[in-house]
Every structure is written in structure tokens, then in C-alpha cells.
Amino acid sequence: MQKPVKQILFSCTLNAIRSVMAEGFFNRIAPEGWHAGSCGVIAGPADGFTFAVMEEAGIALDVNRQSKLFTDYNVDEIDYAVSLSVEAQFHLDSWVMDIPHEHWSVKEPFSADENREVQLAHYRLIRDEISTHIGELVTRITDNT
């Protein structure tokens, strides 16, 4: 009999940058029996810089992915949750009261007045910060199983 998959949910404001990166990193190194999804407080458009910096890290995101909302998930099927923005933290705290969850304070990489290379540099910093958090989270999950 196959063990049921444990679901972790990453959330941010638009489900376009931070939570998408976290989902990608987690699913690449997920412990056996775990799978990640992601959502936003509101639905945002796909972000090309996110796709670019994740591809640099060896993770190809689905170009047809659609932004998801909290309401796209059944709270009873979530085993753990992580918020990556203040807006998502507020929403998560009221949505998953009895589910273990934590908050990572990860800033948005927006700098609209800067050129492409400077913007990509901001995204890479965010990507690398999230990658570090994911590595630590996977270690904790693995140590507790």
C-alpha cells in the first residue's frame, strides 16, 4: 500500500514570483512522500524574470501555469504551509489555523526603474534566499520522519 502524499503549500501575494520559486525548489528536492503547491492572495500574471532565473538554477517552470488562489486548495489536504509575504501570512494565519505553518520574510524583487540586468540580479538574490530556506525546510522534514 502506497503512503499518502503529504502536501506543502507555499503562498505569496500574487503567486507569480516567490511562491512559484519555492514550489519549484521544493519539488526538485522533496523528501519521499512530499509534494508542493503554491498560491497567492490574489491571482497575478506569470513573471518572465521568475522563469528566467529559475531556468538558470536548472528548474524549468511550466510556461502554461496559471496563478492559483488559496481557494483552489482544500485546506484539509494541506499538511504544512509557508507564507512568503506579509499579505500571504495574514491570509494563511486565518485560513490554516490548525495546520503547522511558518513565515519567511522574503522581499519582492521589484525595481521597475532599473534595467533588465539589475532587475535579474534582484530576482537572483530572491531565488537564492528561497533556495536556502527550502534546503533548511527539507532538512527539518527529513530529520522528523
143: in domain: no
3 state DSSP class of 22: helix
**pLDDT of 1 over the 50 cut:** no
Return the pLDDT at 7: 96
140: in domain: no
116: in domain: yes
Percentage above 70 pLDDT, the chain: 95
How many independent structural domains does the chain possess? 1
56: in domain: yes
Cβ atoms of 14 and 40 closer than 8 Å:
yes
Return the pLDDT at 4: 67
Return the pLDDT at 89: 94
145: in domain: no
Give pLDDT tens digits for 93-134.
888 778 899 999 999 887 677 788 999 999 999 999 999 999
1: in domain: no
**pLDDT of 2 over the 70 cut:** no
Give pLDDT tens digits for 33-87.
999 999 999 998 889 999 999 999 999 998 888 999 999 999 999 999 999 999 9
114: in domain: yes
By residue range, what is the domain housing residue 74? 6-133
Return the pLDDT at 145: 63
Return the pLDDT at 86: 94
**pLDDT of 3 over the 60 cut:** no
Return the pLDDT at 82: 97
142: in domain: no
* Helices 48-56, 18-29: crossing angle, 10 deg rounding: 30
Q: Give the span between the Cα atoms of 126 and 113, in whole angstroms.
A: 18
Query: What CATH number is attached to the domain comprising 68?
Result: 3.40.50.2300
Pairing of strands 6-12, 34-40: parallel
With a threshold of 0.85, does the pTM exceed it?
yes
Give pLDDT tens digits for 21-32.
999 999 999 999
